[in-house]
């Protein structure tokens, strides 16, 4: 492999990138925009208590509390509506009272009360809800400790690990930066194909491996350079920097492979943009699930970017080590290897 040829190809590709004003502007403006978004987002957690009650038969003490407009306590007509409200983030917790609660209390028994918590509920919520139920039960019966509770967290349990919204945005913004380079690299290759530059280069002493090496270096370099700069500015390397850098390198390789695939399956710059935006939306879905826990379910694990965003989230926001995210890294490595190999094979056929 002739490194002088690769160097010349890199200079040519970088020059073409600078000439493409649209993607160059989108790259620069996008990076600045994501950094601004991070710093203007709230850096504190909203600890306001939002709770609800589901009760087929509402005890008087509970109904008085619900009726008071000063309290942020909602009443739900069905248990399914109450659970959905928790999963959607409309309320942080729901107290589900059994239908026979008044009869059980009258007979001196202890009713079982179910409590459903949101995965984003603050640490103090559990004690606050239990204290609330105890107080209302005491008002209703004149006795203390007259119930048992079954507690359930809806979605991933992050109780005690609350982080500000802007920190939850870091994985999503990182994948946005990486995905923009899919469009940039694919547009670069598509432009060469339209102009016949790639075929002209292949009749020179340059080999196909040298061509792909240059494309891979420019793709990984642009993606990795930008996302590393972003993570440095937002403090993304404050915890487990080697793991964070490793996952960003894998992410850069993955988007380079996706850029190869996108360029090989499209015939013009317009089609690159159209199909690229669809790919952009799909890959962004796991990041939205991190910003809003409970929004998506386990089906998102079929999207390769899930293992990138989930790893960045766990390492940057929760200080996870290799024992926690090692499985994610292996799966992401597998996805990356398959995507890069597929991109090279398909794009090579396009050149032939």
Phi, psi of 306 (to 5 degrees): -60, -45
**In terms of domains, do 192 and 333 share one?**
yes
Q: List the single range of 138-142, 173-177, 272-276 with lowest mean pLDDT.
A: 138-142
- Answer whether residue 242 shows pLDDT above 90: yes
**In terms of domains, do 258 and 197 share one?**
yes
Q: Which of the listed residues 102, 130, 154 is the one where a domain comes to its end?
A: 154
Other CB atoms within 10 Å distance of the CB of residue 323: 7
What pLDDT score was predicted for residue 196? 64
Residue 2: pLDDT band (50, 70, 90) is low
Report how many domains make up the chain.
2
**In terms of domains, do 127 and 270 share one?**
no
Report d(CA 299, CA 121) in Å as an integer: 23
Q: Record the tokens describing residue 322, joined without a space.
A: 């290799």
H or E element, residue 96: strand 93-96
What pLDDT score was predicted for residue 160? 46
In the predicted model, what is the mean pLDDT of the chain? 78
**In terms of domains, do 225 and 339 share one?**
yes
**In terms of domains, do 300 and 257 share one?**
yes
Which structural domain, as residue segments, surrounds residue 203? 3-42+163-350
What pLDDT score was predicted for residue 244? 93
**In terms of domains, do 14 and 124 share one?**
no
Between the CA of residue 158 and those of 152, 154, 155, 163, what are the distances in Å?
12, 10, 9, 9
pTM of the model: 0.64
**In terms of domains, do 59 and 112 share one?**
yes
**In terms of domains, do 310 and 231 share one?**
yes
**In terms of domains, do 281 and 321 share one?**
yes
Residue 270: pLDDT band (50, 70, 90) is confident
More confident residue, 34 or 293: 34
How do residues 152-173 score in pLDDT, each as one tens digit?
Answer: 665 554 444 456 777 878 888 8
Q: What residues contact 240, with CB distance under 8 A and at least 6 apart?
A: 315, 319, 320, 321, 322
Residue 59: pLDDT band (50, 70, 90) is confident
**In terms of domains, do 338 and 286 share one?**
yes
What pLDDT score was predicted for residue 158? 47
**In terms of domains, do 191 and 302 share one?**
yes
Q: What is the CATH classification number for the domain harbouring 69?
A: 3.40.1710.10
**Phi/psi-derived region of residue 220, left when phi > 0, alpha when psi is between -120 and 50, beta in every other case:** alpha
Q: Which of the listed residues 154, 180, 201 is the one where a domain comes to its end?
A: 154
**In terms of domains, do 106 and 170 share one?**
no
Q: Which of the listed residues 110, 131, 154 is the one where a domain comes to its end?
A: 154
């Amino acid at each position: 492999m002739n490194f002088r040829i690769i160097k010349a190809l890199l200079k040519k590709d970088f020059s073409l990138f600078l000439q493409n004003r649209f993607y160059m502007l989108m790259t620069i403006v996008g990076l600045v925009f994501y950094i601004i978004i991070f710093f203007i987002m709230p850096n504190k957690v909203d600890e306001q208590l939002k709770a609800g009650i589901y009760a087929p038969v509402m005890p008087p003490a509970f109904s008085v509390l619900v009726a008071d407009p000063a309290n942020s306590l909602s009443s739900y007509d069905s248990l399914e509506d109450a659970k959905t409200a928790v999963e959607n983030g409309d309320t942080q917790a729901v107290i589900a009272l059994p239908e026979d609660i008044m009869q059980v209390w009258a007979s001196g028994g202890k009713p079982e009360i179910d409590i459903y918590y949101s995965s984003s509920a603050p640490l103090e919520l559990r004690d606050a809800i239990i204290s609330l139920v105890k107080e209302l039960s005491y008002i209703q019966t004149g006795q203390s400790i007259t119930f048992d509770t079954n507690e359930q967290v809806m979605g991933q349990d992050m109780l005690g690990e609350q982080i500000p919204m802007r920190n939850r945005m870091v994985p999503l913004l990182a994948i946005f930066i990486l995905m923009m380079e899919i469009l940039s690299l694919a547009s670069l290759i598509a432009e060469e194909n339209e102009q016949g530059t790639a075929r002209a280069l292949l009749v020179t002493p340059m080999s196909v491996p040298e061509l792909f090496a240059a494309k891979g270096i420019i793709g990984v370099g642009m993606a990795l350079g930008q996302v590393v700069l972003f993570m440095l500015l937002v403090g993304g390397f404050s915890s487990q920097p080697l793991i964070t850098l490793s996952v960003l390198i894998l992410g850069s390789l993955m988007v380079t492979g996706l850029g190869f695939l996108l360029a090989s399956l499209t015939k013009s710059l317009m089609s690159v943009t159209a199909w690229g935006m669809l790919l952009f939306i799909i890959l962004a879905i796991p990041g939205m699930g991190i910003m809003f826990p409970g929004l998506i379910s386990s089906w998102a694990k079929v999207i390769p970017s899930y293992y990138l965003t989930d790893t960045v989230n766990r390492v940057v926001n929760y200080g996870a080590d290799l024992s926690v995210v090692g499985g994610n890294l292996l799966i992401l490595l597998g996805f990356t290897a398959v995507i890069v190999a597929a991109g090279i094979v398909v794009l090579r056929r396009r050149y032939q």
